[in-house]
Structure 1
Amino acid sequence: MRRKNLAAVALVCGITCVGGLASAGAAHAAPEPAPTVSAPAAPGAPEGEAAEGQAATPSPLEEARKKIEKLYHRASVATDAYNAAEEKAERQSKEVARLNRAITRGQDRLELLRHQAGATAREQYRSGGIPDGAQFLLSDDPRLFLDNANRFQRGQHAAKSLISQLRTTQEQLEEDQAAAAAEYKTLERHRTARAKAKKEIKKQIKAAEELESRLAAEELERLRKLEKEAQRRAQSAWVDSGILDAIDGKASAAGKKALAYAVDQMGKPYSWGAEGPDSYDCSGLTSQAWAAAGVAIPRTSQEQWRQLERVPIREMRPGDLIIYHDDASHVGMYVGDGTIVHAPRPGRHITLAGAGTMTILGVVRPDA
């Protein structure tokens, strides 16, 4: 599988050497348009399109395609919310566990100090309230006085230190207990958000699957053709803008490793919330690919967009991440020659696709 996938990428990148990009010469500035669907096609084009100059009247099947696409997009947004809540809950769980360990240590230390303080109090009681060191100081023997003066001072210092340690330990214990309670409340909020997002994901996916299930086998095949045609038109509009003439970046060493990992996952199914090794969602694939290259990046596409360094589209290179849609709900890894590898959506498998088949929000570079 790995050789087959790498060969596929080699074929895609090979187009650069034999096609129009090779003859383009030095890179030049080009616009960075968001992908848009081209004008309606002439008669004979897929259903839902009209001749040039005529208003397109979407067919029921085209309307169904758009509705299904919207439902899966909502599921993708909910998946990002789920992944973010999951990541925060995991981080919060570790913090709660750390604080609980600190509380246990504090309680043990407080118990020991209280035992020591009790022993000191009992000793003072037995000696009539006057410590042994003080009794030595009251001796008529000058040598005993001098020999025990330092011992008495050390005893006083030890008693003060014991009281100080008791107070400090008690205060720290109370702080840790309050922090643990606050962290636990935050953890519960993240768990609630995660459960809510999970419910939303299942709701949107179920609605999309029910809509698809009402279509006959022949209609499903036509639906897939409509999807491919919409993607082809969007990609063509993006490529026709001339943007590829300006993109000639070379992958970094880490980028090559990340790309090799991502390509090696081709054919594996999309599964929301998954980070491999058997299935992935879109950001699960990109985060694990870069982890394999030794670079830790955020788990979700929205955080990847927010935290990673952004680069202009014309400066992107293989291994960079392309973030899609206004809400940054999807991500793919740039392969080269206008192509990405990505985990599309439920019911699909990791595959190569045109970089311009969806609305591009921007590009980020994990190893900037």
Structure 2
Amino acid sequence: MRRTLRAHGRRTAGVAALALALTATVQQPARAEPTTLAEVRAALQRLYHDAEVATDKYNAADVKVTRQEKRVRTLRAQVGAAERRLTRLTALAGAAARAQYRGGGLPAEVQFVLSDDPRHALENASLARQAQQGTQLVITAVATTSRNLRADTDEASDVLNRLRANRRTMDTEREKIEKHIAAAKRLESRLAASQRRELDAMDTKDANDAQAKWVSTGILGKVGTTTTAAGKKAVEHAAKQIGKPYVWGAEGPDAFDCSGLTSQAWLAAGVVIPRTSEEQWRRLPHIPVESMRPGDLIIYFSDASHVAIYIGNGEIISAPRPGRNVYISPAGSMEILGVVRPEA
């Protein structure tokens, strides 16, 4: 399965040429040219992994901008509402003052002297003063709130501008992602059909070996087999996406990346979770692997760069990488970092 290409001159030359083209395209530091299919496979895995890490960072930057845009819109709406209320209160206070002026309002002490009922005059004067004081207090409070909201809005807008600038910087990362993926696809496309079959066989063997090792620990006898209503909905939604292509940065409905699939699956179940695999790992409750149940998310690799939804029976549904479709695969086929539970 892992025979070298050195024994096959034309295949060696082809792989070497692809390696040179690959290095030039993505401008990576010089590496030893792959001379075996195993080395080509390692190069492909590295490219796709780097693309997935960069994708997660790009998605995270995009989420921050979207969230901040919403905050700025909310603050601006609150400022507008406060200023409209202030305008109304000021107008009402002015109208009351003008009405009092037109009505020839007298000072409280004069009303007291002239009134047939001094107690009634005092009550009227007291109520008038309370009303005036109350109105002024409200106007002052609303004016203060309006100033504070404007200050908060200015600060939030500054943060938004910085986040947008960061996202523009991430556009450079976007170009790198696309170059990595394009280079990997070219490398795969130029392999002979027999070489691609051999690469697939390597992937399958490694996945099956890793799954067998994981299952041999007795883990499947410990994990849960039933789930909640929300977990069931999340799994069902993920299952409906099987066969749809992986597209980096996509979250449906026609294509997905790994965290786009898991976040949308749980959104369909009525639970909002972070958009990226890194944030899902960082912010969602961690569950021991032996306690997981269908619907839980398995986070893969030490950098939390991949995520899939566990569906039971030792299997997951995931959007694996560019060039592949959403599919069912063994849960233990990759390095498991841990498990998180969206609804905990």
TM-score greater than 0.5 by the shorter chain: yes
Residue number among 261, 273, 277 corresponding to 1:297 in the alignment: 273
Q: Check the 8 A contact 1:231/1:357 in 2, yes or no.
A: no
Q: Check the 8 A contact 2:248/2:256 in 1, yes or no.
A: yes
Q: Residue 332 and residue 220 in structure 1: after superposition, are their counterparts in 2 closer, same or farther (change >3 A)? A: farther
Q: Check the 8 A contact 2:214/2:332 in 1, yes or no.
A: no
Q: Residue 228 and residue 139 in structure 1: after superposition, are their counterparts in 2 closer, same or farther (change >3 A)? A: farther
Q: Which residue of 1 aligns with 2:303?
A: 327
Distance 1:126 1:229 in 2: 95
Unaligned runs of 5+ in 2: 7-32
Distance 1:46 1:355 in 2: 29
Q: Which residue of 1 aligns with 2:293?
A: 317
The answer to whether residue 115 in structure 2 is matched with residue 158 in structure 1 is: no
What's the CA shift for 1:215? 6.1
Q: Check the 8 A contact 1:48/1:58 in 2, yes or no.
A: no
Q: Residue 196 and residue 76 in structure 1: after superposition, are their counterparts in 2 closer, same or farther (change >3 A)? A: farther
CA shift digits 1:205-257 (9 cap, x unpaired): 32331354256644475246325414522540442355452313203143333
TM-score scaled by structure 2? 0.79
Secondary structure, counterpart of 1:268 in structure 2? coil
**One-letter amino acid of the counterpart of residue 174, structure 1:** R
Distance 2:193 2:93 in 1: 80
Secondary structure, counterpart of 1:297 in structure 2? coil
CA shift digits 1:55-95 (9 cap, x unpaired): xx962544343233222222212222232233332222222
What's the CA shift for 1:350? 0.5
Residue number among 225, 244, 250 corresponding to 1:250 in the alignment: 225
What's the CA shift for 1:126? 7.3
What's the CA shift for 1:324? 0.8
CA shift digits 1:263-296 (9 cap, x unpaired): 2211101122222111111111112222223333
What's the CA shift for 1:175? 0.6
Q: Check the 8 A contact 2:47/2:180 in 1, yes or no.
A: yes
If asked which structure has higher relative contact order (CA below 8 Å, sep 6+), I would say 1
Q: Which residue of 2 aligns with 1:142?
A: 116
> What count of residue pairs does the alignment treat as equivalent?
315
Q: Which residue of 1 aligns with 2:337?
A: 361
Q: Residue 197 and residue 66 in structure 1: after superposition, are their counterparts in 2 closer, same or farther (change >3 A)? A: farther
**One-letter amino acid of the counterpart of residue 155, structure 2:** A
Larger mean CA deviation between 108-117 and 260-269 belongs to: 108-117
Q: Which residue of 2 aligns with 1:59?
A: 35
Residue number among 139, 142, 153 corresponding to 1:180 in the alignment: 153
**One-letter amino acid of the counterpart of residue 45, structure 1:** R
Q: Check the 8 A contact 1:267/1:351 in 2, yes or no.
A: yes
Secondary structure, counterpart of 2:218 in structure 1? helix
Q: Which residue of 2 aligns with 1:340?
A: 316
Unaligned runs of 5+ in 1: 1-43, 50-56
Pairwise CA RMSD of aligned residues? 3.0
Q: Residue 116 and residue 215 in structure 1: after superposition, are their counterparts in 2 closer, same or farther (change >3 A)? A: closer
**One-letter amino acid of the counterpart of residue 134, structure 1:** A
Q: Which residue of 1 aligns with 2:166?
A: 193
Q: Which residue of 2 aligns with 1:17?
A: none
**One-letter amino acid of the counterpart of residue 209, structure 1:** A
Larger mean CA deviation between 230-239 and 177-186 belongs to: 230-239
Q: Residue 196 and residue 46 in structure 1: after superposition, are their counterparts in 2 closer, same or farther (change >3 A)? A: farther
Distance 2:216 2:293 in 1: 13
Larger mean CA deviation between 267-276 and 132-141 belongs to: 132-141
